[in-house]
Structure 1
């Protein structure tokens, strides 16, 4: 038996014309609220008073600004009873939620800029929901279950089948079998009192992109609707203040839209109000399987709470040959965005036109050829290491060097692209001179709840990459342990593909920032964390002090979105 409490709080953000996070579209602006967005929290205390906290927000991602702000507030309120490594902060990855909540510059460009009132509101909702969850703790039985979507339930499809089929450890799928090229199992944690299900946590990977990039409202998308349906059902059955978290798992290459023959024609028929109906239907599928699994067959969760959390600089991880097919000296590199990042994804969200991306690819190859043509140049070794790590990617943005197609990012004309124009404005204002464009030091976390071990991943991890990571961690643990994975946890780092998938350079590979060995770096670091988790707490020896650098306040102020900037942006004046 555990002491468990739960609560949810609405994130009080007004739709005022800021661009939403997810599609990266300047025109994808919030003008109204369709559904409320929530912070949902669970506090779980074991018999030795060790507390594990889960919080999931209806947002596109977690940023370090969100997590560090929440940690500071919780530490202030709870003191020594709050353990940061036992705090899991997740996002549903709705693409219809607020942007502007990161201190790093790049992903805030469409917003445009940093929006402090958004950040303050989400931290406040997180804090109140967690404190209320702790206050409401009662004796609670925890049980686990799994449910598997039947093949004929149209809930998810693999959107990157060519990359998926590159993996040596999968059954190859045709364009008619994309619904089978993913993990169709949902993992569940149920909370019971008087033998009645009261609340739950669900893990299932599918993008929250039922709603496209032409809509203009804040909305929880499929995960938000799934939570709402479960909470309504449990409330009708007598539960008090039920809370349902529908978090993500291996969603990186998984879409809620059909992918196969005539995929775009089918997607184009789902427009406007039909998109909201489609999101609700997908949410119903998820809510129904969750309730069915937890009310029909479940298994007791027993044992202590424990966790390990370490921040890792992903720009320079040396990979052991165990994870590089025997190759020696392989490393990650500074983060780089490839051409496919700008091209977007089929069906879910098209990006830059093909003519422009073709030009980007040509220019990227020219930059590489020029840099690698002179082996005696002072920068040759630096660029060779970069290209060895990034492999086949046609690099557009070098984040560390703040270069776009080999040039300073403020040199490229922004007349045809308002996001580039905003980037130029910030550079010229001195707003990102010493600030990182994207996070580079990332939180890797593993938590244990009795016999459940949860890998908490800060990025968008593909189906096979997630399966392999689970296998890596499971090899370090007891055979009796359930090893599950949650994604979009604690910060955001783009994608994690397998080495084979990366070579395809679909959208997911183009947005795997730290190069072709990114997944191998994850296996390396999570393997070491799992080994530490196995040790008694007092014997663990791993880095618990490293944190991302503090963003210069004066630069952040120059990126802060003020009313005049917001008004100009909404009128398209940039």
Structure 2
């Protein structure tokens, strides 16, 4: 709490007013909003009304002033921090060996007070939301709340960090880098999302909602500019000269005139951390949430019993071709330090969202509504009104093109060195390899053309092909939930389809990628033809985007008419067929020779200055034994009088927790703390918390404490 605001942030931390206890009672309706409408109770009129009429009028005034109920929740979704393949880059060498910052889920429940219709929005610091996760969450919510939360009104989305442990999909393609399924990470993800949702439901209170859009032009770069430039000039004119989507849209939650939370959408990949990183991290989106919540608002994530006071959720939108690596090389731009880049891009996102607080805002009016359908993208007939040539076309069974194997070179995606981006992979060997891998179906090759088919993942049943597509309405803001990574022009066309049906401006429609399931990329037909990585990863052929446009157009038509479309056939349940991975499995923990668990192996120096790094090593245990949700693997403590006060833990930016195996069963735990600016001089210590497994399988807590050191 001693940090001073960084130069990247234009808004200093604000002192919080005293808060009234939340006991479930309705709050007063009269509020004064900065730069907005003053809403006051009409006391003189009420004085001449009967008590019953007065109460009815007061309730009506309350609903008019705060027409929604909004609840907020935060929970831990951190997966296995050691010996687990990480999700995103498909790099077999990127295996977790510790924790930089915890992954979290941030939930908002929004209820229309007039109709009691609601939506649940959860944004999780994970690589993807898979159908397996969504189905498990829905089952848990149904058991807890009955039919309050259903397919259509639950929107689950991912920040798409590439620095989280994987293995939590029920589709085998995504468990390759983890050598199989990791149930512990799956359960951590599901448990955290459900906990955040339950906390949001319990936190419901009357609210007013405002939305504002600011511009952020120095936090993204178009990593597929050659493909983007193939789009019509009218489409490209909607974006910056460099081909970036600079819109930062922030939904503000005001309860009794006080800002209690924000939900921001901005298009940029959460790939500031490169494949070289092996510490679990929520990347730039998660850091943005942490910065506003913890550093600016004083939220203590370990205080589970308390109101979080503030929730800042930084969600994705159409970020398929938007990279945070401004120099278009992994881990580069704004600097050559991937950790510093994470901090800077996250801070810039917070700055843009905070500028919305003093920008013109639009008050949301109207109800809450939602629609969802499952579409078989392997075989969808697309009407000519949605295709470039005006003719009917069909989508194709899922297949990757050759450039997929090259990976996204700008963001550090894994790939094979013979494969390069560009049509046909830019290498004559590509066709030879592709033909060798796949020769069975000329019809698939024709359907996927001009893509050179590398791997028919649909025929091999490796990816999801029946996909959920969602449309959520919050007042007059519409959010399209897409189960894929959508390029900015693809997002523009999806937004236009909804805006046209609903009769609203395109500024009132957002596309949110990485939502409810995962099916790689969505490019425009023009971008598809370029053969870049994104086009090669557009699984269902050249007319995939038109199929999605057709679908959201239909969802909007149903929403406008007040009708409900058939849900459609869902992806089958694959939970029973998972093969557990041996990666990260703990057989037994032993301390180092002649040591006990928690003993210090390397002590800190006697004193440190602000800006220096403190390092301590302990004889510990494997961290996968207990993921310590709601707790921590470490604390940094300051002596205050006769007691010790926690000043940092494993969820903080300044700490790093590293695990290393020594010998067969010993674990070396290295904890570092970068002493931040503003740290008071005094006596400090670092504590380690772990859990050790015996040969019989029992797990017991262990801990250690460093010698005291001084901060000068």
CA distance in 1, matches of 2:572, 2:469: 17
Structural RMSD (CA)? 2.6
CA contact (8 A) 2:368 2:475 kept: yes
Which position in structure 1 is the counterpart of 2:638? none
Q: Residue 11 of structure 1: CA displacement? A: 1.6
Local SS of the residue matching 1:294: helix
Which position in structure 2 is the counterpart of 1:336? 399
**1:362-408 deviation digits (Å, cap 9, x = unpaired):** 2256469x96xxxxxxx7xx522x12321111111111333xxxxxx
CA distance in 2, matches of 1:123, 1:240: 20
1:19 equivalent in alignment to 2:85: yes
Pairing 1:64-463 to 2, within 5 Å after superposition: 64-149=131-216, 151=217, 154-170=218-234, 180-232=242-294, 235=297, 241-259=309-327, 263-264=328-329, 267=332, 274-355=337-418, 358=427, 361-364=430-433, 366=435, 383-384=442-443, 386-402=444-460, 436-463=461-488
TM-score where L is the length of structure 1: 0.83
Q: Residue 240 of structure 1: CA displacement? A: 5.1
Local SS of the residue matching 1:70: helix
CA contact (8 A) 1:495 1:508 kept: yes
CA contact (8 A) 2:128 2:517 kept: yes
**1:48-77 deviation digits (Å, cap 9, x = unpaired):** 211111101000110011100000000000
Relative contact order higher in (CA < 8 Å, ≥ 6 apart): 1
Q: Residue 564 of structure 1: CA displacement? A: 7.6
CA distance in 2, matches of 1:473, 1:78: 31
CA distance in 2, matches of 1:496, 1:76: 35
Name whichever of 202-211 and 229-238 sits farther off.
229-238
CA contact (8 A) 1:203 1:247 kept: yes
Name whichever of 91-100 and 297-306 sits farther off.
297-306
Local SS of the residue matching 1:523: helix
Q: Residue 340 of structure 1: CA displacement? A: 1.0
Which position in structure 1 is the counterpart of 2:580? 560
For the structure 1 residues 356 and 195, does the alpha-carbon distance in structure 2 shift closer, same or farther, using more than 3 Å as the test? closer
CA contact (8 A) 1:112 1:566 kept: no
Q: Residue 105 of structure 1: CA displacement? A: 0.6
Local SS of the residue matching 2:430: helix
CA distance in 2, matches of 1:268, 1:489: 28
**1:475-501 deviation digits (Å, cap 9, x = unpaired):** 110226811111110010000000000
CA contact (8 A) 1:198 1:234 kept: no
Which position in structure 2 is the counterpart of 1:405? none
Q: Residue 168 of structure 1: CA displacement? A: 1.2
CA distance in 2, matches of 1:37, 1:367: 41
For the structure 1 residues 466 and 126, does the alpha-carbon distance in structure 2 shift closer, same or farther, using more than 3 Å as the test? same
CA distance in 1, matches of 2:85, 2:318: 26
CA contact (8 A) 1:155 1:285 kept: yes
CA contact (8 A) 2:273 2:331 kept: no
For the structure 1 residues 103 and 359, does the alpha-carbon distance in structure 2 shift closer, same or farther, using more than 3 Å as the test? farther
Q: Residue 344 of structure 1: CA displacement? A: 1.0
For the structure 1 residues 29 and 266, does the alpha-carbon distance in structure 2 shift closer, same or farther, using more than 3 Å as the test? closer
CA contact (8 A) 1:37 1:219 kept: yes
**1:173-198 deviation digits (Å, cap 9, x = unpaired):** 9xxx9873021011111001232221
**1:212-266 deviation digits (Å, cap 9, x = unpaired):** 001111101110111111113552599952111100011000101124xxx5499
Which position in structure 2 is the counterpart of 1:486? 512
Q: 1:519 aligns with which of 532, 545, 548?
A: 545
Which position in structure 2 is the counterpart of 1:38? 104
Which structure has the larger Rg? 2
Count of aligned positions: 508
CA contact (8 A) 1:256 1:282 kept: yes
Local SS of the residue matching 1:118: helix
Local SS of the residue matching 1:19: strand
Which protein is richer in strand relative to its size?
2
Q: 1:502 aligns with which of 524, 528, 538?
A: 528
In the alignment, structure 1 segments of 5+ residues that lack a partner are 372-378, 403-435
CA contact (8 A) 1:197 1:295 kept: no
Which protein is richer in helix relative to its size?
1
CA distance in 1, matches of 2:138, 2:482: 18
1:477 equivalent in alignment to 2:545: no
